[in-house]
Amino acid sequence: MLAVGALGLIRIPAGYYVYTGSALGAGGLRARLQRHIKGPARLRWHVDYLRAKAKLIEIWVAPGAQRREHLWARALAQVADGSVPRFGASDCRCPSHLFRFGRRPALGRLGSLFRRRRKAGSPQ
């Protein structure tokens, strides 16, 4: 169990997790990556609580001016083994932005999934 701000106590089963978010705010991509790599000085976002307890393995980025985290969340929901309800999604209508995989997901597999969704004209 993990205490996550306003979400309260949540169950985080063992596995590999993919979190989707944006870095369009203050400081941009550099600041967001530093926060995830070093760990936050102050717990503010849902992912900060997870990051304080979980081992970071990889960070995948797709620089650009468009918000794509909602598109990616919909795509991940189709292939993940599960998700944590409302995690990272308190400011949108997505069911979650944190997805669980029993085995380590491959960037190539997820990358092709994202490209197919974008080419199909899925709304962001």
Residue 88, by phi and psi: left (phi above 0), alpha (psi -120 to 50) or beta?
left
- Per residue in 27-54, pLDDT (tens digit) is 888 988 988 888 888 999 999 999 888 9
Structural domain includes residue 13? yes
In tens, the pLDDT along 78-111 reads 899 999 999 999 989 999 999 999 999 887 777 7
Domain ranges, residue 89: 2-119
- Residue 24 domain-assigned (yes or no): yes
Q: Is residue 124 part of a domain?
A: no
The count of domains in the chain is: 1
Q: Is residue 98 part of a domain?
A: yes
In a domain, 65, yes or no: yes
Instruction: Decide if 32 contacts 117 (C-beta within 8 A).
Output: no
DSSP string computed for 12-67: --SSEEEE-----STTHHHHHHHHHHH--SS--SHHHHHHTTSPP-------SSS-
